Amino acid sequence: MPARLKNYICFALFCGLLLAEGCKKNSSSSTQSVVATLKASAPFPMGSAVTSNGILSNYYYQGVLLTEYNSMTADYEMKFDITEPQQDVFNYAPGDALVNFAAQHHFRMHGHNFIWHQALPPWVLTFQGDTSAWESLFKTHIETEAIHYKGKVASWDVVNEAIRDDNGQLRNRDATPGDGSGSIWRQHLGPDYIARAFVYAHEADPNALLFYNDYGQEWGGVKLDSMISLVTGLKKRGIPISGIGMQMHIDINADTTGIASALKRLAATGLLVHVSELDISVNPGADPNIVFTSALQVKQAALYQFIAETYRASVPAAQRYGITTWEFSDADSWIPVFFNRKDWPLPFDAAYKKKPAYYGLLRGLTN
């Protein structure tokens, strides 16, 4: 056999072996299961609070969001101080960025929020007027924003955190002068302002689902009792309330019995139940020398798993509005900034990599 032909045959056999091995690898990979994601695993929407800056300028942020979630809550873009910085002058650009992204990528969009005692612009805090003028200000803001987002925002936190922590009463004057715990709305509009907020929102967008949103349900006691009394009272009166948001800003020492009890009691109202702002702090004591050890990571992961499992077990399928984390990466959490401390409260780390907390949440959605 000529050397040239021999070399060609050897080369052909070599190529054939490479092709066969490639086909073998492709066949093997095609039979492997698809990597699980939160949104694919959950029998209800999985959401996150989202910022316009994140979706517009952070490739890693956008990548995780698109891969893992199918519901978005406006982080700050739809709050009063952003949307109406001056009376009757509305700024929708930041919120529109979120809404457009949600529509483009088929996310459910949850609005947050119309009425809160915080995040108010200076003109509201210094507003001078009688009860009628305050009512007009209040109604105009809700209706104008709701109409702007009609058909684009599926649901709203209509009123946020209206109940005091200590005695379960509606916020009115500051609990301690100057501490910011009071509500300008209760002071000027009376205790039934909450019902009217829901009515105004419904009149402006009859198809939007409307929520009362608050924290501390897992504490039980007077605050949980008051929240349930508030929402069931609105429901009995025919006020158009659709659900209740259970924020769930908790830490790794949270009472799991309290969480389970609260979810069952909220479900018993017959309203939709939204775990609306979930994060789990690991440094509630603000230890400046804390290290995010394996033990802390495992404990955090177990609590994420417990919450997902308990939500599924305690809330009937028809009432599950979903689980939403308040952001998803430690890089974007409000906790380290607000409390000026080290913390790692979310399912993804500051480099947008999955943490044990992510896998705990995933197990809770599937076990």
Pick the catalytic residue: 161, 218, 309, 327? 161
Nearest Cα to 66, choosing from 42, 41, 38? Answer: 38
Tokens of 274: 């939204």
218 given a catalytic annotation: no
Amino acid at 258: G
CA nearest to 114, candidates 155, 61, 159, 81: 159
The helix, strand and coil proportions of the chain, stated in percent and rounded to the nearest 5, come to 50, 15, 35
Give catalytic status of residue 68 as yes or no. Answer: no
Of the candidates 208, 275, 211, which has an alpha carbon nearest to the alpha carbon of residue 47?
275
Using CA atoms, how far apart are residues 132 and 134, in angstroms rounded to an integer? Answer: 5
Q: Provide the annotated active-site residues.
A: 161, 277
